[in-house]
Structure 1
Amino acid sequence: MSIEIKAPTFPESVADGTVATWHKQPGEAVERDELLVDIETDKVVLEVVAPAAGTMKEILKQEGDVVLSDEVLGVFVEGAVEASADKPSDAAPAQAETESAPAADAGDVILSPAARKLADENNINPADIKATGKDGRVTKEDVLNHLKSAPKAAPAAAAPAAAPAVPAGERVEKRVPMTRLRATIAKRLVEAQQNAAMLTTYNEVNMKPVMDLRKKYKDQFEKAHGVKLGFMSFFVKAATEALKRFPAVNASIDGNDMVYHGYQDVGVAVSTDRGLVVPVLRDCDSMGLAEIESTIGDFAKRGREGKLGIEDMQGGTFTITNGGIFGSLMSTPILNPPQTAILGMHKIQERPMAVNGQVEILPMMYLAVSYDHRMIDGKEAVQFLVTIKDLLEDPARLLLDI
């Protein structure tokens, strides 16, 4: 039975998508729920999986084509895989396979012709392959499954000696189309700079109190909550408290209206292979440090796997980005519209600091808050950043709400 493979139903905020990668080609066998194709939208990559076991029959939308919600991408045939020249049908007599499939050198392993050819091409010992065919025969699928599960071998020592693809001294250029996600990021960043009166204020924070607290309780914290205690949860809690005290920083601009939010939904920038995404922590005021750390860890994992949903990144009243994990000492973060402010964290670096007339070596971090001056006055922005600094340098204030 033929089944149409359709694009997912996009939310209202997503107009269309682009076919990113076909993982199956016409004629290939497919298991139920196996990934068929990736659809890239402005915000996330959506996966389309097989509705049942069968065979991919036809691809109607090629990689790079723009598709709408529920548009047909290809045709899928449910049921057993059809017989082909190099792959005997399961219903064919076993004798036809055994006559042309001599035993392998290792033991009494029997391979189909297609399986033997594939095994020889990949230098696989037939005895290492798990056989699932009739009477213990190794099929082509068994060899493919073995290749998928086996660790990739290290390149041979002679490989680097191969002739280079490009002559010495050649000035190489490679042109790659910008992905939809990357193009959207670029467009939004340019719009943020063109449409907002963006200004940045800086300060620095002594991270020693937080580091001491983390060092003292990290083992107990992980044992009690099953998640490691990091720095980001402290910054999220400090930012949440500061947002409550300075509502304008937690607001957004909608045309000529200023929208004040009575909740704190903090977006945390996550770097992925496809680009920067900003999943949102909802109602941060009611979240504890453990829940924040656990949620951020889940966001990071799903971001790397391309499994973040559109609902994970919608909304948000404030954003935190951490360039310090890549070694950035200071930077100017760009607003994430329609939000009116963003906090930039940076690398922790020991520096000599004057403390009560004495020079001490302290772990310091530069903080930066970029804000829309149309909505936020300089006084509010500076006081907001100082509040974060004070809360981090005396973490007990987070618990005492002072």
Structure 2
Amino acid sequence: MTTEVRVPTLGESVSEATVATWFKKPGDSVEVDEMLCELETDKVTVEVPSPAAGTLDEIVAGEGETVGVDALLANISEGASEGKADKGSKETEEAAPKEVAGSGGDQGDAQGDKVDVMVPTLGESVSEATVSTWFKKVGDSVEADETLCELETDKVSVEVPAPAAGTLAEIIAEEGTTVEANGHLAVIAKGSAGEAGASKPAAGKSDGGDEAAAPKGETQYSTPEAGKGRADVEDAPSAKKAMAEKGVSRDQVRGSGRDGRAMKSDVDAAIAAAKSGAASPAPETKQAPRAPVAAEDEAREERVKMTRLRQTIARRLKDAQNNAAMLTTYNEVDMTETMALRSQYKDLFEKKHGVRLGFMSFFTKACCHALKEVPEVNAEIDGTDIVYKNFVHMGIAAGTPQGLVVPVIRDADSKSFAEIEADIADKGKRARDGKLSMAEMQGGTFTISNGGVYGSLMSSPILNPPQSGILGMHKIQDRPMVINGEIKIRPMMYLALSYDHRIVDGKGAVTFLVRVKEALEDPRRLLMDL
């Protein structure tokens, strides 16, 4: 049976890529999810995993060729084949040292009773992650699908389940280690706990066996200290190619991959830093020297490494400030009518639809209504083109213990209040639990950020690139207002619209906010499309 390997989805507004590197050649055996090749676009580098186990029969698109989305890259013959049989001796040789490392040589004939725990597919354009937490230790018994550890990428947290029941015999990638997609995390012994106990000494210390050469606590997956790297570490092929094309020397690039391996994103960061006159190419490097700290104060400090998600948030927010002509306009809305309507129907709404009626569905509907009249706020810049979106994928910013994430409510303009509330409740809960997939945080055309839940009275939200607009909601506060010549107490909320002035003019931004204000002060306008 033949399985086709095709170009995956490359990301929003990306239609083609170049085949940068093939990691396999025809005749090589491949496993499911093993990396076959690497594609490069003008935005990201994408690794293509094998969709099936078998033998790589034919490479259709060679290195250097340009391919479109869903184009045929190669063919794989599933099951046993001559190519796979020819490599039997090599696979046996590779298995032997693994037995020694995992069991101290006592179980050399029991490879079939061991199961490797591998890094799962991390998602589009994500090639590596950091091991944040191990929930099990060596010697612990585990059940099939029980969570073993948690990985952290620059976008989401990924839980790794046990592929089989047994005992955790060896942890290969410790907490804090950077691992690549399909990398080796641990080994599970399917036998008794006693058998796994024999493997524990070899993993942690040397008894004169094959691991005597490795320092305690260090494996081939260990991450070196900053500024150091291993001589046998190979930089990513895409990074080498980018350095050659851009004329960047290796000492200008600070590798963020495993053991200091340089990735294409590191080369891009070095180039961007050089253009901006930054002192160091690393995006997370401080831009100014740290102020002197007294010894007694330094002893009371706590230094914690930024998570990958926090680093990405910082980089994207700063990029938004640097790249967009960002401006913010403000207005205020009297929430009396919206609050009254919600209060009148919230019990009936929840009884019928099974979800609570909140304010977010009103704001989402009001924004969708306003975006129809001011489409440039729902557009984005692509080079010298403006891309207008005839749909609304609404991003709803949510604060989580790990940082800010923006799940996307797709086609919000065509959904009912109940559907919007159900989507928001579901994605909000999974965001807090770290269960969101990257696909659920991509493709947004406009964003709403609700700082009011934390008590914010006024703020200027930062754009979520490549979007051109973001609405900031704030705290509802009773204030004296002049209504028909009389002073009355009304529940008021400040609204803020940050927008990209390159494509949104002041008139359009103000009109958008006024339409949102009108819809919330008289919700009946939404029903009549006014």
TM score, norm. by length of structure 2: 0.59
Look up the match of 2:302. Answer: 174
Aligned to 1:241: 369
Change (3 A) 1:216 1:33: same
Partner residue, 1:61: 173
Give the aligned partner of residue 164 of structure 2.
52
State the secondary structure of the residue aligned to 2:164. coil
Q: Is the 8 A contact 2:128 2:178 kept in 1?
A: yes
Task: For residue 84 of structure 1, report the CA deviation from its aligned partner.
Answer: 8.6
Aligned residue in 2 for 1:356 = 484
Letter in 1 for 2:167: T
Partner in structure 2 of residue 259 of structure 1: 387
User: Out of 378, 387, 395, which is 2:523 matched to?
Assistant: 395
Distance 2:347 2:191 in 1: 53
Out of 319, 322, 332, the position equivalent to 1:204 is 332
Structure 2 residue aligned with 1:152 = none
Q: Tell me which of 176, 181, 185 is aligned to 1:73.
A: 185
Structure 1 residue 256 displacement after superposition: 2.1
> Following the alignment from structure 2 to structure 1, what is the Cα–Cα distance between the partners of residues 387 and 150?
36
Change over 3 Å in CA distance of 1:83–1:11 after alignment to 2:
closer
Q: 1: distance between equivalents of 2:395 and 2:341? A: 25
1:184 aligns with 2:296: no
Q: Does 1:347 align with 2:347?
A: no
Query: 1:245-293 deviations in whole A, cap 9, x for unaligned?
Result: 1111001112222111111000001111000100000001111111111
Taking the aligned partners of 1:230 and 1:236, their CA distance within structure 2 comes to 11
CA deviations on 1:268-321 (whole Å, 9 max, x unpaired) are 011110001000000011111111111111112111211111111011000000
Provide the C-alpha distance between the structure 2 equivalents of 1:245 and 1:321, rounded to a whole number of angstroms. 21
- Counterpart of 1:219? 347
Whether the aligned pair in 2 keeps the contact of 1:53 and 1:79 (CA below 8 Å) is: no
Q: Is the 8 A contact 2:117 2:186 kept in 1?
A: yes
1:169–1:44 distance in 2 versus 1, CA, 3 Å: closer
**Shift in Å at residue 392 of structure 1?**
0.5
**Cα offset, 1:23, TM superposition:** 1.2
- State the distance in 2 between where 1:5 and 1:170 align: 41
The CA deviation string for residues 192-227 of structure 1, in whole angstroms up to 9 with x for no partner, is 111111000000000000000011111111111111
Deviation at 1:172, TM superposition (A): 1.7
Consecutive unaligned residues in structure 1, runs of 5 or more: 86-167
**Separation in structure 2 between the aligned mates of residue 236 and residue 322 of structure 1, nearest angstrom:** 12
Secondary structure at the aligned position of 2:193 is classed as: coil
Equivalent residue for 1:375, pick from 465, 488, 503:
503
The 2-side partners of 1:271 and 1:182 are apart by 12
Of the structure 1 ranges 315-324 and 171-180, higher mean CA displacement relative to structure 2 is found in 171-180
Worse overlay, 8-17 or 305-314? 8-17
Offset at 1:79? 3.8
Distance 1:69-1:266 versus aligned 2 partners, 3 A rule: same
1:107-143 deviation per Cα after TM superposition (whole angstroms, max 9, x unaligned): xxxxxxxxxxxxxxxxxxxxxxxxxxxxxxxxxxxxx
Pairwise CA distance, 1:343 = 0.2
- Please name the residue that 1:22 is paired with: 134
In the TM superposition, residue 81 of structure 1 has moved relative to its aligned partner by 2.6
For 2:441, the equivalent position in structure 1 comes to: 313
Taking the aligned partners of 1:254 and 1:6, their CA distance within structure 2 comes to 38
Which residue pairs with 2:62 in the alignment? none
Which of 14, 32, 37 is residue 144 of structure 2 equivalent to? 32
Cα deviation, residue 367, structure 1? 0.1
Letter in 2 for 1:227: V
Q: Residue by residue, what CA displacement relative to the aligned partner does 1:373-394 show, whole Å, maximum 9, x if unpaired?
A: 0111111011011100001111
Cα shift at 1:63:
1.5
Secondary structure of 1:76's aligned partner:
strand
- For 1:314 and 1:252, the matched residues in 2 are separated by 14
**Alignment-derived partner of residue 323 in structure 1:** 451
Calculate percent identity across the aligned residue pairs. 59
Aligned residues: 320
Match of 1:129 in 2: none
Q: CA RMSD in A?
A: 1.6
Q: Does the aligned pair in 1 maintain the 2:364–2:394 contact within 8 Å?
A: yes
Distance 1:337 1:170, change over 3 A: closer
Matched, 1:12 2:124: yes
Distance in structure 1 (CA, Å) of the matches to 2:196 and 2:402: 38
Residues 143 and 166 in structure 2, CA contact (< 8 A), matched pair in contact too: yes
Taking the aligned partners of 1:84 and 1:187, their CA distance within structure 2 comes to 43
Partner of 2:465: 337
Letter in 2 for 1:36: L
Q: Counterpart amino acid of 1:339?
A: Q
Displacement, 1:171?
Answer: 6.5
SS in 2 for 1:291: helix
Question: Does the C-alpha gap of structure 1 residues 257 and 170 become closer, same or farther in structure 2, counting only changes over 3 Å?
Answer: closer
Specify the SS of the correspondent of 2:365. Answer: helix
Which amino acid is 1:247 matched to?
P
Q: Deviations over 1:69-111 (max 9, x none)?
A: 11111111124332699xxxxxxxxxxxxxxxxxxxxxxxxxx
Q: Distance in 1 between matches of 2:137 and 2:196?
A: 15
One-letter code aligned to 2:480: P
Q: Cα gap change, 1:401/1:65 in structure 2, threshold over 3 Å: closer, same or farther? A: same
Contact 1:200 1:369 in 2 (8 A): yes
Show structure 2 runs of 5+ residues with no match: 1-112, 198-295
Residue 15 of structure 1: CA displacement?
2.9
Query: What TM-score, normalized by structure 1, do the two folds share?
Result: 0.77
2:155 to 24, 43, 46: 43
SS at match of 1:360: strand
SS at match of 2:187: strand
Whether the 8 Å CA contact 2:358–2:421 is kept in 1: the answer is yes
Check conservation: 2:164, 2:188, Cα contact below 8 A: no
Whole-Å Cα distance in 1 between the matches of residues 297 and 314 of structure 2?
Answer: 33
Corresponding letter in the other structure for 2:172: L
Is the 8 Å Cα contact of residues 171 and 185 (structure 2) preserved in structure 1? yes
